Structure 1
Amino acid sequence: MADVTVTYDKTGDAAYVYFERPQARAQSTRMYPCDPVEVGGMINLDFDEQGRLIGIEVLAASSKLPKYLLESAERLDTEGT
């Protein structure tokens, strides 16, 4: 199974999906913002220096991601601790 980590901040309603192991978090050297009008919120794709997709930032996450994913995500706010 793939090693994917999801973090979620309910206060900011922002999630991040990591495609790298969290402890090896690669530096994003390029970010591609998806059109907020087309998706009804902001989604950013982060790429490393080799052009590999390393993560996805999702703003307005509660309206874009499945509830089960947000419930199982590592919480970055105090409500989830």
Structure 2
Amino acid sequence: MADLRITYDQKANAAYVYLTDPQAHPRVAHMYPCDPVRVGGMINLDFDENGCLIGIEVLAASSKLPQYMLDAAERIDVEDA
């Protein structure tokens, strides 16, 4: 199984799941917002210019993702000491 890079901002309660090579920096060309009523929150799917899914943004992440995943995610809300 491939390793996924996941970032989490606890203050914003937002996570991002990267579905690309960690060394790649693809550009988001199109974002598809999932219906918040149907999924019970806000989830956005990001696609590149070729139509490939490159990432998933999850708002209200603590209610949508397993806690172990958030615990293992790279924290982006922690300021450098």
- 2:25 aligned residue: 25
Say how many residue pairs are matched. 80
State the Cα deviation string for residues 26-73 of structure 1 (Å, max 9, x = none).
101000000011111100000001100000000000000000000000
- 1:50 aligned residue: 50
- 2:2 aligned residue: 2
- 1:76 aligned residue: 76
User: 1:59 is aligned with what amino acid?
Assistant: L
In structure 2, the gaps of 5 or more residues are none
Give the secondary-structure state (helix, strand or coil) at the position aligned to 2:58.
strand
Pairs within 5 Å for 1:32-43: 32-43=32-43
Deviates more, 1:40-49 or 1:21-30: 21-30
In structure 1, the gaps of 5 or more residues are none
Give the secondary-structure state (helix, strand or coil) at the position aligned to 1:23.
coil
Identity of aligned pairs, percent? 68
Distance 2:21 2:59 in 1: 21
The Cα of 1:21 is off from its aligned counterpart by 2.5
TM-score, normalised by the number of residues in structure 2: 0.91
Structure 1's consecutive aligned runs of 4 or more residues displaced over 3 angstroms after TM superposition are none
CA RMSD between the two structures: 1.5
